């Protein structure tokens, strides 16, 4: 028993936590092509900036404004074979008068040992105005 306790004391457990990546973008039009371009750009930015490991993704929630109904963002994500087995969900955003039109948002839950401050949350195109505080922080940190 003492040997087992000593071995356990010598090795530090990996501190993996569940974190979330938040991001948003806008489509130019309510077409499959425009939505595909916007979703692909957003997911590429998230994957690249966060060095996202597909095996660590728990689930992904996409939301779209009611003026986008040409396709499902999850269907676009599944076009990438690495996203094939990731649990994906599409929802319609709450309608709020005066809110940003043609907006696609994403929330990705994943396991990581990175601290929260190192997670990059991209807000692209017209969605930059949704979280100007995060865009400013990323610019200061050199993560344009």
Task: Look up tokens 């400013």; give the residue.
Answer: 136
Which distant-in-sequence residues (6+ apart) come within 8 Å of 87 by Cβ? 58, 59, 60
Handedness of CA 66, 69, 74, 80 (dihedral sign): negative
Q: Is 105 annotated as a binding residue?
A: yes
The answer to whether 10 and 92 are in contact (CB under 8 A) is no
Give the angle subtended at the CA of 125 by the CAs of 132 and 69, to the nearest 5°.
120
Which phi and psi angles does 31 have, rounded to 5°?
Answer: -130, 155
Output the known binding site: 22, 105, 123
| Residue list, annotated binding site for prephenate | 22, 105, 123
């Amino acid at each position: 028993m003492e040997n087992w306790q000593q071995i356990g004391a010598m090795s530090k457990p990996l501190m993996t936590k569940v974190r979330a990546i938040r991001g948003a973008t806008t489509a130019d039009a309510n077409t499959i092509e425009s939505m595909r371009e916007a979703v692909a750009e957003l997911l590429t930015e998230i994957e690249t900036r966060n060095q996202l490991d597909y095996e660590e993704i728990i689930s992904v929630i996409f939301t779209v404004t009611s003026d986008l109904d040409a396709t499902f963002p999850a269907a676009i994500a599944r076009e990438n074979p690495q996203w094939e087995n990731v649990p994906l969900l599409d929802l319609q955003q709450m309608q709020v008068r005066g809110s940003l039109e043609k907006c696609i948002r994403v929330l990705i839950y994943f396991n990581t040992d990175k601290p929260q401050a190192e997670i990059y949350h991209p807000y692209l195109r017209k969605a930059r105005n949704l979280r100007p505080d995060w865009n400013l922080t990323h610019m200061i940190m050199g993560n344009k």
